[in-house]
Amino acid sequence: MATLIYIHGFLSSPLSDKAQRTQRWLQQHCPQVHYDCPFLSPYPEETQRQLSAMMARLGDEPVGFVGSSLGGFWSTWLVEHYGARTVLINPSVRPFELVDRVEGIPQHNFHTNDSYVMTDQHRQQFRQAYCETLTDCRRYYLLAQTGDETLDYRQAVERYQGCRQLIEEGGDHGFQGYENHLPEIVSHLFPDASLSA
């Protein structure tokens, strides 16, 4: 069975709106695709350990990644280390620059009582995890909206140049109308599979 893995963003969780919408849509329209959304640490080294352990558990099972915001950064890391395909939703391109903005200031998870403090060590860990080169642009599909109030969509356009892209005017960081794109998201992730219900 193919597995769609949703990679949530910074300060988010499996309870995020897009994660929940993805799970519900798959259950209704594509029940033969398994859904997973791990609750990831905001700290880069721990995130890498979590994702590596997840991939080891999945073994040779077909997978595809949907990465939102910081999840887009980690989805790129997954593709470059493990293969498969990804769809990036308003992705964070250089999260080490995020640390510049929030270093030393407690950050609170949107869905839990957890709080985190980012340090220079985390900035360096993000830099070390950054994949300088995309080895196969066919694996990537960028969805971005110009009205993103959190991240500059132009960074993503430049970073994923040569990859399939859909840039919508307006919108916001949450990506308005996300659910309308789920059919093409699934078809990009699993192009060789017959996924009709």
Contact between residue 92 and residue 9 where contact means Cβ atoms under 8 Å apart? yes
**CATH code for the domain in which residue 119 is found:** 3.40.50.1820
- Name the domain count of the chain: 1
Amino acid at 107: Q
Rounded Cα–Cα distance for residues 99 and 110 (Å): 18
Question: What's CA 166's distance to the chain center, in Å?
Answer: 16
Task: Compute the average pLDDT of residues 39-57.
Answer: 97
Contacts of 187 (CB under 8 A, 6+ apart): 195
pLDDT tens for residues 113-148?
A: 899 999 999 999 999 999 999 999 999 999 999 999
Which pLDDT score, from 0 to 100, does residue 163 have?
98
Q: Which two tokens stand for residue 168?
A: 């919508």
pLDDT score of 195: 56
The arithmetic mean of pLDDT across residues 14-24, rounded, is 97
Containing domain of residue 103, as a range?
Answer: 3-189
Residue 68 lies in a domain: yes
pLDDT band per the 50, 70, 90 thresholds, residue 197: very low
pLDDT number for residue 194: 58
